[in-house]
Chain A
Amino acid sequence: MPVEHAIRATGLTKRYGDFTAVDGIDFTVNRGESFGLLGPNGAGKSTTMRMIAAVASRSAGTMSVAGLDPEQNGPEVRARLGVIPQQDNLDEELSVRENIIMYGRYFGLPRRWLNAKTEELLEFAQLSHKATARVEDLSGGMKRRLTIARALVNEPEILLLDEPTTGLDPQARHILWDRLFRLRESGTTLVLTTHHMDEAEQLCERLIVVDEGRIMAEGSPAGLIRDHSTREVLELRFGMDRNQEQAQQLTALLSSGAASADGAAAEGRATGDGGVGVGGGGGVGFSHVEVLPDRLLVYAGSAESALEQIHAAGLRPMTSLVRRSSLEDVFLRLTGRTLVD
C-alpha cells in the first residue's frame, strides 16, 4: 500500500525528567521531498531525528515512518532508513571497504550482493582509491562521505542527516552537497538538521524552524525569508558601546524618511508580527533594526538606499555591509536570538 507521506508526526513530545526536549510538534514529510529542521544547538532537532530513527521512544504523540510506527517496528523502520549521525561513527577496526560491507551485513544483506554494491558506493563517494585504507587515515571530508556511502548500503527510502557538513572545509562541503543533490534527484527523501543557513537554503525544499522544542515557522527557504524578513539587510558597526543609542537614532531617521503612514514605533522591533511591512516610501522599505552585541542589522527593502540616507544624515559607521536576507535573519526575527553562537 503506497503511503503518501514519508514521515508524519503529530503532537510529538519527548521529555527527559523535568526537561522537555521536544514539545508537541506536528510535521509531515512528503515522499521524495528534502525537508529540513533548522534551529540552534539544543533546540530538539537531534532528539526528533532519534525518534524518527526508532532509537528513542516518544513521551507523547504519534509518529509514522513509511507507514510504520517506529516504536513498534524498530528494526523494520530502520531497514528503510539511512542514518548519518552528527559525528562520524565509523568502525576504526575495519578498512574502508569493510565498513560498508559490514554495515550491509547488519541489515542481513547477502555478501555477494554487497561486494558489488560496495564498489558502486565507493565510486559514488569518490573513495574507490581508498578502499583498503584504514579509516583513521582518511581526511574529515572523506570520513563524512564514507559515512554517507555506508548509510546508503540498504538503499534507504528516507535518509536522515544530522548536521551533515558541520566541521568540513568549504570544498568538502560542496562535494557533499553535490552528492546529496544527486540523491534527492534520484527520489530519496532527505531529512536533515542544520544550523547552517546556507546549507538549509541549498538543500531543503521545505523546512521547519525549531526552538526550545517548538516549531516557530514552516515553509520554503524563500517563502520564510519573504514572510519574516525584508529583501536586504544592512550590517553596521559603530563600536561596542555605541550600538544601542545608534539603533534608536537610526530607527527614528529611517522610519520618518520612509513609511510615515503608520508611524512605525521607534523601538528596536518596529513592525508587529504578521508580515514585515515593506513601506514603499522613499524606496528604502525600512522595517526595523536589530541590535546584536557587535553590530546593528538594519532591515530594509533596499539596503543601499538606507545606507545613503544614513550617510546623508551625517552618521559614520566604522564598517557597513549590504547583503540579502537569509534564514539567519528569519531565525533572529522569530526568536530574538542568533543561530550560531
Chain B
Amino acid sequence: MSTDRLTAEPELQQPVSPAADKQTMAGRARRFGALHQAERTLRSMRAYGTVILFSSVSQPIMYILAMGLGLGVLVGEGGDFAEYGASSYLMYIAPAILASTVAMAAGIEFTFPVMEGFKWRRLYYGAQASPLSPGQIASGHILAVSVRFGIHAAIFTVVLYLFGAISSPLGVLMIASAMLGGLAIGLPIMAYVSTLRDEKGQMSLIQRFVIMPLFLFSGTFYPLTNLPGFLQVLGWFSPIWHANELGRVLAFGQPSPAWLILLHVLYLLGITVAAWLATVRIFTRRLGLEEWRGRTPGAKADAKRQDRLAVKDAADVDRSAGAGTATTPDSTTPASTALPRIAFRRGFGANYYSGNIRAVFGRGLTAIRNNRGVIFLSGLLEPVLFLTSFGLGISPMIAGVDAEQVGLGGGGTISYAAFIAPALLAVSAMNGAIFDSTWNVFFKLKITKLYRTMMSTSLGPVDVAVGEICLALFRGGIYALGFIGVLLVGGLIDPLAAVLMWCTALFVALGFASVGMAVTSFMTRFQQMDWMMMVLMPMFLFSATLFPISVYPAGVQAFIQALPLWHAVELMRDIAFWDFSSLTLVHIGYYLVMIVAGLALTTYRMKKLFLR
C-alpha cells in the first residue's frame, strides 16, 4: 500500500533517479536482497553456462550407457531388481545417479565460490557495502545454486525419461528429492567453508574424506544392504542415500514403509534447515558488525612449528655469538663468503634449459611439507574407497568375470574385485597426474604466478616444466604405493606384479601429466577446466574399468580403444594376471608417444607463455 505510493510518486514529478529515494531502496533490499544476490550469482554462472548445460545432458547419457547398460550386462545375470520395484538395473540406478550428480555439483558449488567470495576475489565484501544483509548474501548464493540444481535435475530427468529409465509420472518429483539431497550434503559444507580464512587443501580434503565416501557408500549402484553392516551405517548418515531412496520411491515406487519415507524427508529437511541457519549465522558473524575474519586452518600447528623454529634460531645465534666473541660484529650478521659461481649449461637449448630441475622439485617438496601431510596422504584413500565400495557392493550381484570375456588367457572366472583392482590403480594414476598437472599447474600459472617468479631467475622453461612433472610423478608414486599395498595385503596381486604395477603407474602418470600440462597451458579461465573433467569422466566410465569392453558393439569398442585410459587399464591387467601379448607392446608404445608429444608441446607452450 505505502509502497505503491512511494513508487508512483516520482512519475508525477520529473523523472527522478531511482537511486534518489533511499528509503525505498533500503526497503526493497530488505525484502528482496537475497534474490538480488542470487541473480548476481546466476549471472556469473552464465559464464560457464554451456558447460553446465552440456554436463546436465551428457552425464545421464554417459551413466546410462556405462553403468546401466555396461555394468548392467554383468549384473543382469546375478541380480534381480523386481523386489525393489524396478524392471531393470538401469531403472534401479537412474534416480540414484541423478541424486549423486547433484551431490557432486554441491561439492563444487558450495566450496570454491564461497572461498572466492571471502578470500580469493572478496566478492562478499562488495555486497557487504550494499544494503544487503550478510544473511541475504548467504541465502542468495544458496538460492542460485538451488536453481542450478533444478535446471540440472530437470534436464537429467528428461533424458532418463527418453531412455525409458523412468516409468511413473511421479518421477518428476525426483527433481525435488535430488535438490533436497544436494542441499543437505552441500549446506553443512558451505557452513564449514565459510568459517575458513585460508584454503590449505581443505577443498580436496572435503572432496576425498566427505563427499567421496558419502557417495560411494550411499547405495547408488547397488542396494545398501549388499555392504557389510558397519559400512551400511555410513550410508544411513549419508544424505545421498536418503535422496537415492526417496528418488527410487518416487521414480518406480520402490516398496518402502511409510515411516522410512518420512524419515528420509525429515532427515534431509532437518539438515538443510539447520545448516542453512548455521550458514546465515556464520555469514552474519563474518560480514556483520563483528568483523570476525574466520579461522585459519592449521594455525595452531603453524604456531607450534614457528615456536620450534624460533627456539632453534635463538640457539643458533647463541652458538655463533659464543663462538665468535673475538669478532663480535660478525656474530649478528654472518658475513657470507663471495658469491659462488652460477653455473650454466651452454650449447643446445641453453636459452630454455639451465639444468636445474632439482630446485623446482625441491620447492615443491618444501611446499608439500609446509602444507599439512594429511592432504597429501588423502590421495591414496580414493582408490581404496572405490575398491571397497565396488568390490564389496557389486560383487554379490556378479558371480565373477569370465576370463575369456575380458581377453585374458587361462579360462575360468576371476573375482570382480580382482578384475577392477588393476583398473582402479590405472585410474588413480591418471587422476593424480591430471590433478597435479592441471589444477595445480593452472593455479601456479594464473593465480599465484609462481612460474613467472621462477622465470625471473636463471631457470628456463624446460626446468620448470620438467620439475613440475617430476613432482606430479612423486605424488602419483606415493598414492600408487598405498593402493598397491592394500592390494598386496588383500591378496589380489603377488609381489612381483606389485613392483611392476608400481612402475607402470608412474609410467601412466607421466603420460597423463605431460599431456595434461600441455593442455593446461592453453587454459585461460577456471571454467575451462570443467571441460577437461568432461573428458575424464567418460574415459573413467567407459575404459573397461568396471566391466569388460566386450559388452559394447565393435564400433564403440574401437572408440574406447583409442582412448589412453583403456591402454593403461589393459596394461595393468596384463601385469596383474600375468598375461602378456603383442598388445602389451602396443599399450606401452601408446604411452611413449603420449609422453614425447606431451613434453614437446609443453615445452613449446612454456616458451610461448614466458618468453613472449
Residues of A within 8 A of B (CB): 53-57, 71-76, 78-79, 81, 83, 85, 89, 91-95, 98, 102-103, 105-110, 113, 116-117, 119-120, 123, 131-134, 136, 154-155
B7 on the interface (CB 8 Å rule)? no
B343 on the interface (CB 8 Å rule)? yes
B356 on the interface (CB 8 Å rule)? yes
**In the complex, A79→B345 CA distance in Å?**
12
Stretch at the interface among B75-83, B172-180, B334-342: B334-342
B448 on the interface (CB 8 Å rule)? yes
Stretch at the interface among B430-438, B456-464, B519-527: B456-464
**In the complex, A103→B358 CA distance in Å?**
12
List, in ascending order, chain B residues with CB within 8 A of A116's CB.
334-337
Contact status B363-A95, CB under 8 Å: no
Contact status A79-B455, CB under 8 Å: no
**B340-362, CB under 8 A of A: which get 1 and which 0?**
10111100001110111011101
List, in ascending order, chain B residues with CB within 8 A of A95's CB.
309, 370
Q: Main SS of the interface on chain B?
A: loop
Contact status B333-A120, CB under 8 Å: yes
Tell me the smallest distance from the CB of A93 to a CB of chain B, in Å: 4
For residue B460, which residue of chain A has the nearest CB? Answer: A75
Interface size grouping (class) on chain B: 35 or more
Tell me the smallest distance from the CB of B145 to a CB of chain A, in Å: 29
For residue A54, which residue of chain B has the nearest CB? Answer: B611
Provide a sorted-by-A list of 14 A–B residue pairs whose CB atoms are within 8 angstroms.
A56-B612, A73-B350, A75-B458, A76-B344, A79-B458, A91-B450, A94-B363, A94-B367, A103-B457, A105-B356, A106-B458, A131-B309, A132-B306, A136-B198
Indicate which residue in B354, B358, B449 contacts A75 across the interface (CB closer than 8 Å).
B354
Contact status A102-B333, CB under 8 Å: no
Contact status B459-A94, CB under 8 Å: no
List, in ascending order, chain A residues with CB within 8 A of B313's CB.
131-132
Contact status B450-A78, CB under 8 Å: no
List, in ascending order, chain A residues with CB within 8 A of B360's CB.
106
**In the complex, A93→B444 CA distance in Å?**
11
Tell me the smallest distance from the CB of B502 to a CB of chain A, in Å: 28
Known: A93-B370, A94-B370. A133 touches B332 (CB 8 A): no
B454 on the interface (CB 8 Å rule)? yes
**In the complex, A213→B549 CA distance in Å?**
61
Contact status B363-A102, CB under 8 Å: yes
Instruction: Point out which of B358, B371, B448 has the most chain A C-beta atoms below 10 A from its C-beta.
Output: B448
Contact status A108-B356, CB under 8 Å: yes
Indicate which residue in A102, A108, A119, A133 contacts B366 across the interface (CB closer than 8 Å).
A102
Tell me the smallest distance from the CB of B597 to a CB of chain A, in Å: 25
Residues of B within 8 A of A (CB): 198, 302, 305-306, 309-310, 313, 332-337, 339-340, 342-345, 350-352, 354-356, 358-360, 362-363, 366-367, 370-371, 448-450, 452-460, 610-612
Contact status A55-B342, CB under 8 Å: no
Instruction: Point out which of B350, B354, B358 has the most chain A C-beta atoms below 10 A from its C-beta.
Output: B354
**In the complex, A74→B464 CA distance in Å?**
14
**In the complex, A103→B459 CA distance in Å?**
10
Contact status B342-A108, CB under 8 Å: yes
For residue A122, which residue of chain B has the nearest CB? Answer: B333
**In the complex, A217→B282 CA distance in Å?**
57
For residue A147, which residue of chain B has the nearest CB? Answer: B453
Contact status A108-B370, CB under 8 Å: no
Instruction: Point out which of B306, B350, B358, B453 has the most chain A C-beta atoms below 10 A from its C-beta.
Output: B453
Contact status A105-B336, CB under 8 Å: no
Contact status B362-A105, CB under 8 Å: yes
**In the complex, A91→B452 CA distance in Å?**
11
Contact status A107-B310, CB under 8 Å: no
List, in ascending order, chain B residues with CB within 8 A of A83's CB.
456
Contact status A113-B337, CB under 8 Å: yes
Indicate which residue in B359, B370, B448, B460 contacts A105 across the interface (CB closer than 8 Å).
B359
Q: Which 8 A-B pairs have the closest CB atoms?
A: A106-B457, A79-B458, A93-B367, A105-B359, A83-B456, A75-B354, A132-B309, A75-B458
Contact status B356-A55, CB under 8 Å: no
**In the complex, A311→B478 CA distance in Å?**
83
Contact status B460-A89, CB under 8 Å: no
Contact status A123-B332, CB under 8 Å: yes
Tell me the smallest distance from the CB of B353 to a CB of chain A, in Å: 8
For residue A136, which residue of chain B has the nearest CB? Answer: B198
Indicate which residue in A55, A76, A105, A120 contacts B334 across the interface (CB closer than 8 Å).
A120
Known: A79-B342, A103-B457, A134-B302. A91 touches B354 (CB 8 A): no
For residue B370, which residue of chain A has the nearest CB? Answer: A93
Tell me the smallest distance from the CB of A72 to a CB of chain B, in Å: 6
**In the complex, A119→B333 CA distance in Å?**
7
List, in ascending order, chain A residues with CB within 8 A of B452's CB.
55, 85, 89
Indicate which residue in B337, B355, B457 contacts A78 across the interface (CB closer than 8 Å).
B457
Indicate which residue in B336, B351, B362 contacts A73 across the interface (CB closer than 8 Å).
B351
Known: A76-B350, A92-B448. A107 touches B335 (CB 8 A): no
For residue B305, which residue of chain A has the nearest CB? Answer: A132
Given contacts A75-B351, A79-B457, A105-B358, 6 further A-B contacts (CB under 8 A): A71-B351, A74-B352, A78-B456, A105-B356, A120-B333, A131-B309
